[in-house]
Amino acid sequence: MEKAIIIGGGIGGLTTGALLSKHGYKVTVLEGDGEVGGCAGKFSKDLFSFPVGATFGMRFEEEGIHNKILRYLDIDMNVFPLSEAIRITVFSATLSVFQNRTNHLKQLVQVFPHYKENLSSFYEELWKIARKVRRLIERVPAMPPKTPQEWGYLFSSLGISDVSLLPLFTKTVADLVKKHGLEDCQSFIHLLDGQIIDSMQTTIEHCSLLMGAFALDVYHEGSFYVEGGLFILARKLQSFIKHHGGEVKLHCKAIGVDKRGALFTVEDEYKQRYKAEHVVSNLPLRQLLELLEERIVQNLSQKIKDKEQWGRLRYILP
C-alpha cells in the first residue's frame, strides 16, 4: 500500500486525503491547528458551535465539483442555496452579490445609472469568458502537463472555441474594465476588488482575466449554506479518512520536506518524521517554499518563487 502525506487539513487537503483513501492509499494528514477545516473553522461556547471564517460554500450545485466529490465518496450533506451570496459596503452603498445574474446586473445599474450600457457590455463579456474557462477547466489535466499521456489528453481536449481565449492569456480584469469604459467608476472598481481579493488575494490590476472572470462568475453558479457550518464538511471528510485506515494529526505542524530516492520525508515540529511515496501540500505557496530543502527550491523557476496569489500548483520533485 502506497503512502501519502497531506500537509494542511483544510477543505482541499481533507478532500484530497479522502479521495486518496478511497483509492487505497495510506493517508496521513498533518494539521498544525487544533481543528480541521482551515478557513472554514468554528468556535464553541458551552453546548453550541458557531461557524467562522468561510461560512458558505460554492460549487455544491448539481454538477459542481463539491457535489460530484460528495456523491463519489457517498457522503451526505444538507446544503441550502442562497439567493444572496455576500454583501459588500462600498463607500455609502451596500451592494449584494446575487446568485441570479440578471438581478445582480439590475442592482448595479440602479446604483450606477450613468454606466448602464458599460455595465451590461462588461458583464456580458465577463460571463461569456467565464463559461469558456469553466468548460476548459473541466477538461484539461493538471497544469503543466508532465507525461506524454497528459500532453496528448490536453491537445485532444482543446476545441476550436478555446482558441478565442488565447489573446486573453496576458490580460487582466482591469483591462476588461477599461475596455468597457468603467475605469473612472471608482465605487464599482472597489466592489470588484473586494470580490477578487476574497477569492484570488489580489486586485483587478494584477488578476488574470481568465481566472478573474471565473472567480467573479462562480457566485452566480451557486452559493450554498451548509447546515451546521462549512466545517461540518471538514469533519465528515476527516471521518472518511479515518474510516479508511488513515489518520488526521492535529497540533502537528510540518516544518520540512525532503526527497531522497523514491521517498519523501516530512518532519513535524516535534522532530517526528513521516515517510511516503507521495506528498500533497494544501498550504499557500509561500509556506510550501519555506518547508522545502534549499536544493529543491533552487531548482524552481523564479516565476514560481515570486508567485503571490493562491492557486493550484503541481511540481514533481526530481
In the chain, the domains with their CATH numbers are: 3-55+229-306 (3.50.50.60), 85-224 (no CATH)
- Can you give the pLDDT at residue 144? 57
Q: Exposure string (b/e) for 182-197, b if CB count within 10 Å is 16 or more?
A: beebeebbebbbbbbe
Are 90 and 191 within 8 A, CB to CB?
Answer: yes
Does residue 180 register a pLDDT over 80? yes
Instruction: Give the least confident one: 93-102, 140-149, 185-194, 241-250.
Output: 140-149
Does residue 307 register a pLDDT over 70? no
Does residue 21 register a pLDDT over 60? yes
Give residue 30's Cα distance to chain centre: 19
pTM attached to this predicted model: 0.78
What's the mean pLDDT in 281-288?
81
- Can you give the pLDDT at residue 143? 55
**Grid cell 481565449 in the structure block, residue:** 165
- Calculate what percentage of the chain has a pLDDT beyond 90: 51
Angle of the 65-73 helix axis to the 231-243 helix axis, nearest 10? 30
CA atoms within 13 A on the CB side of 184: 4
For β-strands 247-249 and 79-82, DSSP reports them as unpaired
3-state secondary structure the chain: CCEEEEECCEHHHHHHHHHHHHCCCEEEEECCCCCCECCEEEEEECCEEEEEECCCEECCCCCCHHHHHHHHHCCCCCEEEECEEEEEEECCEEEEEECCHHHHHHHHHHHCHHHHHHHHHHHHHHHHHHHHHHHHHHHCCCCCCCCHHHHHHHHHHCCHHHHHHHHHCCCEHHHHHHHCCCCCCHHHHHHHHHHHHHHHCCCCCCCEHHHHHHHHHHHHHCEEEECCCCHHHHHHHHHHHHHCCCEEECCCCEEEEEEECCEEEEEECCCCEEEECEEEECCCHHHHHHHECHHHHHCCCHHHHHCCCCCCCCCCCC
Measured in degrees and rounded to the nearest 5, phi and psi for residue 78 equal -95, 110
Paired with 28 in beta bridges are 5, 247
